[in-house]
Amino acid sequence: MKNILCILLCFIAQTTIAQIKLEGVVKDSVGKPLELANVIALNKSTNTLESYGITNNEGRFRLALKKNTTYSIKVSFIGLATINDSITTKEVDITKEFVMKPDNELKAVELTYEMPVTIKGDTIVYNADSFKNGSEKKLGDVLKKLPGVEVTDEGEIEVEGKAVTKVMVEGKDFFDGDSKLATKNIPADAIDKVEVLKNHNDVSQMRGLGNDEDNVAINIKLKEGKKNFWFGEITGGLGPEERYVANPRLFYYSPKYSVNIITDFNNIGSIPFTRRDYFNFTGGFRSAARNTGTNFNVASSDIGFLTLRNNRAKAIDSKFGAANFSYTPKKTWDISGFAIYSGSRTELQENSINDYIDENTPDEITGTTTRQKSDLGLFKLSSTYKPNNNNQLDYDVFGKVSQQTETQDFFSSLLGNIDERQSQNPFSFNQNLNYYYTLNENHIFALEAQHLYQDEDPFYNARLAQSEQFRFTDLLGLNTSQTFLDIAQDRRVKTNKVDARLDYWYVLNQKSNINITAGATLSSQQFDSEIFQLLDSGSKLSLFSAQQDVENNVNYNFSDTYVGLHYKIKTGKFTFTPGITAHAYNVNNTQFGSEFKDTFTRFLPDANIRIQFKDSENLNLAYQMQTDFTDVNNLAEGLVFNNYNSIFRGNRTLENALSHNLNLSYFSFNLFNYTNIFAFLNYNKRIDPIRNRSQFLTIPGTSGNPDALSTNSVSTPFNSNFADETFTANGRFERMFGKVKASLGGSVSLSKFNQEINGIRNVNESFTQSYQTRISTNFRKAPNIEVGYNLTINDYDQGQNSNRFITSSPFVNVDAYFLKSFIFTADYSYFNYSNEERTINNYSFLKAELSYQKKDSQWEYSVSGTNLLNTKSLNQDNSNSFLTSTSEYFIQPRYVIFSVKYNL
């Protein structure tokens, strides 16, 4: 790693020494500096664009040029005549001043070049070809090379530190609600321009009324040859041990309609769409109750499958298909939608050491072999009707369906062998109706209504040997005369939730407006569950416990009626948006023949202060008081089996929590020297938070330790008298030095919360630190390299127990386009996983690909390998209310694939 870094630095230094600087100022005819003027240098001998720059707020620019070379210098600015000049460099830096005149005083020069970056109001336009070096395969490869743009390891896009909320192609939504499908699938050679749309709002009437400054969208403009024609690729590959890959991807765009078809079938561990992607996929929906101060989210009753680590497992077989369309029957009406299917068959193997907080509970060693079968489906249909500039009507339908099963062969050093099976077939249906009406320039109305119907049916079954370590026998009233204890649980959770709000804006002038909001949230949930025992005979035994009910039949209703007032005013560099919302809450739940009610009112203030130092630099301070409510899962008082080790019973008298949220953020994007800086600070204090009171059951007659506890626990939620506190901070500094991009980033998170275990209050503190640094090059005629280092430190302090885990990971990525036909890429990363005393494990990953495509040929041939060092396992640690665990996680072996791709 050190040698590679030294070679890279020497190469950069050599490139820098061979250059001189052209710098200066661009002004208008009255001497005022011009910000965002374009300055480019064309090499006269090669007629190629060699350097470019954009002036800062002081009108300054800087170009890096070769020595002893003649250049054509062009300076352009919207509304002013283009300057066409010529210079010849020598051995020293050059300083020049350019004065631009109105267009009617000087005939404009016709421009025959493409600026790499141009600014049009809130839109930044990148010319993709100016940043490509020939090795790019997909959109994500292009975006990584654009200044101010980042693509995360998961494929999500960030611009100046802000998550991109929408990706469009030719102005048409590309799988609304996700950017990963775009970065992983849109071919790089089809991309002409990337438009970054800042302060984005889908409704033109609403722009500037609220706080849209953090809304960022991306629009991809296609090359001319890709419009009105089908384009894409069809890939197939085979490898030893019956490994295969098949990836047809087809795209069609015209002014009237578009179609995108993406498929991916493989058994080499390449997961196009994970379960996490499925549950996080919003379809672009936003809650109508957002920013009102009420936090009432319907929790998922997901059975909690084991999740993959970095998309890795012992064996993965994936099938994926997705289709997206848009259709414009007439200029005033747009229809769009998508359908996604993701199927996977996965095998996981994991060994863990569990260190329990209570000193009377022994450590536990576990081993798990898991088989998962998952079939996931999503669909969305959207319609937007805009007959004129004053009216817009939107209607969306979004659905999720799935079939999921998981079986586990589990071994515990305390309980022996346990067989577990979980399954669920949940579905949800979400519809959204929005109407926006502009009476005139001073009076604007918006009506938003949303309905959610969700039905979840998780099933759990555990089969284990009878043991004194298993302490739920008496609590559940189990029949102990059976060969094994075969326990099962059915659950059904149904949710109907309606959100509706009406907004009115009185626009006082261009710098201020008043917003009045009135709305309501209505939710009805039904929770049913039953724990039963399967006997040796195969019959079902309904359980009865004298200590606690083992069945639930709960009806829970929640309502929030609110009215809010906000005032937005802009004065100089400052924008103030103070507000207050009055709420009338009503909650009630019925179970075991009785009803519990709670009705109250609350006033919740919020405020936003933004300081706009300049167009690309701002500081934002936001405060909001929130009322946090739980849903029915925490209120059901009958016993619920979480897993073989844990039983949960709710608390019908739970009260709401009150939280204070303070957020400070800073953004700066300097196109003069391509410096991108962002930083976030967030503090949250939650009063009367909902926490768990846990009791580990004793093991009677344990010799030598009468206080010995089992690992079996019963938990109940309660409102803690002690506040929870969380502080997070993260940021990144990025700078481009010619063809070199360097970044340094990090995040820290400190959380503190209280819990009760065996009647003793414990203060849980966790401190997580994560730091990243990387340097990458983007040369056209030389191999490119990216080197970096990631460091993660996790500190857990649980009163009687504290642990520290450290993961350090240097990495090197190489890509090279050579001989006008070959592309070679390789990614190497090394991991060292340790605690305070020793290195627990170290491992490396290497993947590489060599592809060949003759110029102007539609065929591409490649050989690729994953996990080429044949690493067997990786490690991970985590902490919860009861324990700290460290795990060894087994992954797929080395795979080599030979593939052929045909480009349409």
pLDDT at 304: 64
pLDDT at 113: 61
**Radius of gyration from C-alpha coordinates of the chain:** 30
DSSP letters spanning 297-316: ------------BTTB-SEE
- CA 742 to centroid of chain Cα atoms: 23
User: How far is CA 411 from each of CA 107, 364, 416, 478, 660, rounded to the nearest angstrom?
Assistant: 82, 10, 5, 22, 44
pLDDT at 7: 53
Q: What letters, b where the CB count within 10 A reaches 16 and e where it falls short, cover 77-105?
A: beebbbbeeeeebeeeeeeeebebeeeee
Interatomic CA distance for residues 220 and 174, integer angstroms:
10
pTM of the entire predicted model: 0.87
288-326: per-residue pLDDT in tens?
777 889 998 887 766 666 667 667 888 999 999 999 999
CB 743 within 8 A of CB 733: yes
pLDDT at 109: 46
Q: Is 390 helix (H, G, I), strand (E, B) or coil?
A: coil
Interatomic CA distance for residues 498 and 450, integer angstroms:
6
pLDDT at 10: 56
SS (H, E, C) 674-714: CEEEEEEEEEEEEECCEEEEEEEEECCCCCCCCCCEEEEEE
Q: For residue 606, what are the β-bridge partners?
A: 579, 624
- CA 520 to centroid of chain Cα atoms: 29
Instruction: Please identify every stretch of the chain with a pLDDT value under 50, giving residue numbers as ranges.
Output: 13, 16-17, 106-111, 703
- 112: DSSP letter: -
368-425: per-residue pLDDT in tens?
999 999 999 999 999 999 999 899 999 999 999 999 999 999 888 877 888 999 999 9
CB 574 within 8 A of CB 611: yes
- 654: DSSP letter: P
